[in-house]
A and B are shown apart, each in its own frame.
Chain A
Amino acid sequence: MTVRKNQALLTADEKRRFVDALLALKRSGTYDAFVTTHNGFIMSDTDSGARVGHRSPSFLPWHRRFLLEFERELQSVDPSVSLPYWDWTADRTAASSLWAADFLGGTGRARDGQVMDGPFSAASGAWPITVRVDGRGHLRRALGANGVQLPTRAEVDSVLAMPEYDAPPWNSASDGFRNHLEGWRGVNLHNRVHVWVGGQMATGVSPNDPVFWLHHAFVDRLWTEWQERHPDSPYLPAVGTADVVDLQGTMRPWNDVTPGDMLDHTPHYTYDTAA
């Protein structure tokens, strides 16, 4: 059974195996296919049209499935690997071990944002940015550089307290848990973390930075925490909403999975500690 662990608690060997599996997927081309898929959805999901991966109720089940697919690819390289999660309410500075040279590497240099250390630096030669929106082929970051602060646990708790999963109009204007977790309204959790990291993480090709997976693994864990706090609150909408994936609607691009299939994570993985 896959156990997803807090990145701060990984051993040196677990970090090395995770990094090596990422590099193997990069070499084979599998990694960049995930970047392409994400960018395709982020550019086509709109508030007034069809929306699946973002700004809609299926933001959470879509990313759960997306991470499951990616984790399975990692495990095809090394069966011992699972996706770690980054609790950005706790490890909230660029000095966190997450950003050390033996794991993801640090922030970018001022001149051009280029990450200069770690396994994903341009100098390593192992992490070319090929699915991109501009001419730059190196990983970039600007951790906290624009004055943004990572969300606090109190801010997370204020969102977890929201009893309703989602609400009409089921988009970036919605009230409810999903949109406040996604960040288009209110204190802003998920979106703000993308902005805090900067570089490719702030763009539509955000999975170019491996921290994408650790960020979304924690967002996914917060969904589980919310379910535990509100066991009687269902996924919404239940049925029949134009442009939106309802409980038993199939999600692109897989077309064989519904939000209803993704509500329970425990057939797929568990966590290192109770939520």
Chain B
Amino acid sequence: MSTITRRQALGAAAGATAALATAGAARALPAHTGDDSFDEVYRGRRIQGGPSHDGGHGGGHHAGHGGGYAVHIDGEELHVMQNADGTWISVVNHYEPFATPRAVARAAVVELQGAALVPLTLS
């Protein structure tokens, strides 16, 4: 249900820029409004977030949720997920929703205490 909501949100937000995109390009865009990408250094870690064209998880991984949005910490992907109410969680704060992907990335930096993420794997 959240996907539909976000697609609808994109449709509304994209109204002004609709003329810029062909139908095909529009389909290739993830279902997110354009204002939730970020790239900053937080407590000494580079955190990045934005639409993911491979559905996240580096393409080769089978993480499965198809979020269409990827967050990285120092270049390594942080598994994130959006809840139906629009809030976000990550694999290192999996029981505590945050308002935005940036907030969940910052919370992960605090939780990691300098440790590196390890590549996503699922068996």
Residues of A within 8 A of B (CB): 36, 39-40, 42-49, 55, 112-113, 132-136, 169, 171-173, 183-184, 190-192, 194-195, 202-206
Contacts and interface: CB of A to CB of B under 8 A. Distances in A.
Contacts, number: 98
Contacts of A135: 115-118
Q: DSSP majority for the B interface?
A: loop
A129 B92 CA distance: 14
Nearest to B114: A112
Contacts of A133: 79, 91-92, 117-118
Contact of A184 (B81, B83, B123): B83
B122 A40 contact: yes
Given A47-B84, A135-B117, A202-B111, 7 more contacts: A44-B65, A46-B65, A135-B116, A172-B84, A183-B95, A191-B95, A203-B93
Contacts of A194: 94-95
Contact of B94 (A36, A42, A46, A171): A42
A202 B94 contact: yes
Contacts of B96: 191, 195, 202
Interface of B: 1-4, 63-67, 79, 81-85, 91-97, 111-113, 115-118, 120, 122-123
Q: Which of B79, B81, B94, B95 has the most CB of A within 10 A?
A: B95
A contact patch SS: loop
A195 B95 contact: yes
B104 to A, nearest CB: 13
Contacts of A113: 113
Given A46-B65, A48-B1, A134-B112, A171 B84 contact: yes
Contacts of B97: 184
B92 A132 contact: no
Contacts of A47: 1-2, 82-84
Contacts of A205: 91
